[in-house]
Amino acid sequence: MTTNTRIMTLLALVAPLTVAQAQTTQATTAAPPAPPPPALSPVDQTIQDIKKPVSWMSWGGDMRIREEIFDNLLTLNPDDAANLHLQNYLRFRGRIWTSIKPIEDLSLNVRLVDEVREWLRPAGYTAFSPNSGLDWRFGIFDNLNVQWKNVLQQPATLTVGRQDIFLGDGWLVGDGTPGDGSWTYFLDSARLAYELKDQHTTIEAIGIIQDAEPDGWLPTIEQHQFAPLTEQNEKGAILWVANKSVKEANFDGYFMYKHDDAINELAFGTPAGRKFRPDNADIYTFGGRISGLISEHWKYSAEGAYQFGQKQDPSIQFPSSSLEYRDIDAFGFNGKASYLFKDRLNNQLGFAYEFLSGDDPKTADDEMFDNLWGRWPRWSEIGLYSYAAETRIGNEANIHRFGPSWSIDPIKNVNFSASYYALFAEENVATRGAPGLFTGTGNFRGHFVQAVLKYKLGKHFMAHLWSEFEFPGDYYVHGTRWYFLRPEIMFTF
């Protein structure tokens, strides 16, 4: 890792701390009271009455239908022997949930989800599904927790059990189950949030015990095969402090610890283990994030993190494969600035830059940044799937990403967005990459283009058309274009 890169990342960590400390004591103007919500239509009122039949219980549900089509993302090779470069399948995800509140400030929250897939071509990214046809996996409780507000008459909220957790922009914490591909997101955890209102500060402490097997903590429904939620059992601890004293400089500082323990079903050296690439690790992460509205038209966010610890990763290829533990020395930065036109069409322009360090093959240390529980399509689906042959799905690292984006609402209920990113690798050697797919001499990953059209009608119907294309550069052996296409509709009750 170059000296300039280290200096840039350290500045990203130190600057938010300095700004937040200087501005925490500034006075803030109380916001005017919010206007009352508009009256519900007769249909919405009926739906609300059905969803909340009694004062102490509410419920709801949704159905998401997707078709996903993509080429070359998993194999990085249009001529793979198994002919798995082209993938096409349907996804039908249904969820139903309820919240029961027996007494004031105490609630039980439950959500049940199932996703059925129809493989229209041979399945390429799971060793635990049928090669074609219907894929009946299992139903799973992806939320089951108890939440206690105003704990002991204090401004604190305690949530214990299976829950979704999304911190900041979700850069490092957004999806605890990357193995099932946005079917679920949960973390089995305990989360305590304490609010210091006078200081405009929230302190959160989170403990995580995540089992890789879907029935590790709670039984699944009609499980047809083992399909891991992640590559290893994981334990973690997070301390997150958020200060919003100044709208121009909201600050988040955090410490995260993650312990990885490879499970037997994905043991090192087995076919499934080679496919999913489990590891054993102790990863310590310090980071900070600053964001805000500089003026009526400008908003920004910048986040940086440093990692250390140890990791045992059998997918290391360079300097040679090894099962030894290696010391971690990794950096990451993620930032974006946007200009809001505040016009009739809601035009917005943005520019993003992200850096995640890569493993230097010339050292004995492990410099690859680990995005912890942030393995979800933060900026692209191509970015998620194309790392399967290099690290693991969604385990992005060794990348410089920068470029502009544009968003507009051309007509009511419709949004269109477009993005372009130039992608580079910090290290030209893919230390964890499958042999024969990476040149080992080039640093240019390629040109990435995305266009998304979204439609939303009230609270009950959403749809989108999602398209992405990447034109690979000299970092890869094969230069054939990649693409990802997804139409989707969702009904919510």
Bridge partners for 301 per DSSP? 291, 336
DSSP state of 438: B
Residue 233 has pLDDT above 90, yes or no: yes
Strands (E), 104-179: 106-119, 133-149, 156-163, 173-175
Number of neighbours of residue 19 by Cβ within 10 angstroms: 17
pLDDT digits (tens, 9 = 90+) for 410-449: 999 999 999 999 999 999 999 999 889 999 999 999 999 9
**Euclidean distance between CA atoms 37 and 96, whole angstroms:** 26
What pLDDT score was predicted for residue 452?
Answer: 98
Please state the rounded mean pLDDT for residues 350-372.
96
Contact 287, 305 (CB under 8 A): yes
**pLDDT score recorded for residue 128:** 66
HSE of 454, CA atoms in CB hemisphere, 13 A: 14
What is the Cα–Cα distance from 488 to 64, expressed in whole angstroms? 7
pLDDT digits (tens, 9 = 90+) for 127-177: 666 778 888 888 999 999 999 999 999 999 999 999 999 999 999 999 999
H or E, element range at 47: helix 42-51
% the chain with pLDDT above 90: 76
What is the DSSP code (8-state) at residue 146?
Answer: E
Average pLDDT, the chain: 90
Q: What is the structure's pLDDT at 404?
A: 98
Q: Which of 63, 77, 81, 180 is nearest to 122 (CA)?
A: 81
Q: How many residues can be counted in the chain?
A: 493
Question: Which residues neighbour 204 within 8 Å (Cβ) at sequence distance 6 or greater?
Answer: 191, 192, 193, 194, 238, 239, 240, 241, 242
What does CATH list as the number for 3-23+59-492? 2.40.160.100
Task: Report the SS3 class of residue 52.
Answer: coil
The DSSP element (H or E) to which 20 belongs, if any, is helix 3-23
pLDDT for res 12? 40
Q: Is the pLDDT of residue 24 over 60?
A: no
Helix or strand holding residue 225 (H, E): none
The pLDDT confidence band at residue 11, using thresholds 50, 70 and 90, is very low
Q: With contact defined as beta carbons under 8 Å apart, do 123 and 145 qualify?
A: no
pLDDT of residue 302: 98
Both tokens of residue 21? 């400390």
Residue in this structure with the two tokens 């030209």, named with its chain if needed: 428
Say what the pLDDT of residue 132 is: 82
Contacts of 34 (CB under 8 A, 6+ apart): none
* Cβ atoms of 206 and 163 closer than 8 Å: no
Could you read off the pLDDT of 308-318 as tens digits, one per residue?
999 999 888 87
Closest C-alpha among 236, 117, 182, 233 to residue 384: 182
- Sequence spans of domains, the chain: 3-23+59-492
Return the CA Rg of the chain. Answer: 23
Instruction: Check whether 34 has a pLDDT greater than 80.
Output: no
Least confident stretch, 20-34, 264-278, 343-357 = 20-34
**Between residues 482 and 47, the one the model is more confident about:** 482
Q: Which two tokens stand for residue 491?
A: 């009904």
